[in-house]
Amino acid sequence: MISPFVDWLISLIAESRCVLGEEEFVELAVREAVSNAMTVAIARMLASWLMSVAAAKVLRECFIVVRDQGNGFDPSKVPDPLAVEDLGAEPRDAAST
């Protein structure tokens, strides 16, 4: 379910030309955010878990917001996934950070 949605959204973003040359990074971020929301719902066995994705282009910038019913997290406390020591690390439940 995730791939067709993300592929569709990225095709719209590519057409908008607001992240020229950066589409693969936007795709990765969207895919991770949507996957995380679904993973948390599945782990908690919540059939009624709601998630929304909103995307907008304002002038030359794209904004994408992925929301779910979780408590959220402090992005400053999430380890840098590109740091050498974090490469290959197991994903963490955002709710536990």
pLDDT in tens, 49-82: 788 888 888 888 888 998 888 777 777 887 776 7
Q: Is residue 6 part of a domain?
A: yes
Determine the structural domain holding residue 66 and report its residue range: 2-71
pLDDT tens per residue, range 7-24 = 999 998 888 888 888 888
Q: What is the pLDDT, as a whole number, of residue 8? A: 92
Write out the two tokens for 72: 């959220």
Q: Is residue 13 part of a domain?
A: yes
Residues in the chain: 97
Q: What is the pLDDT, as a whole number, of residue 22? A: 85
Q: Is residue 54 part of a domain?
A: yes
**With 50 as the cut, is the pLDDT of residue 96 above it?**
no
Distances (CA, A) of 7 to 29, 30, 41, 82, 97: 13, 10, 22, 23, 29
Count structural domains, the chain. Answer: 1
**Percent share of the chain, pLDDT over 90:** 3
Q: Is residue 41 part of a domain?
A: yes
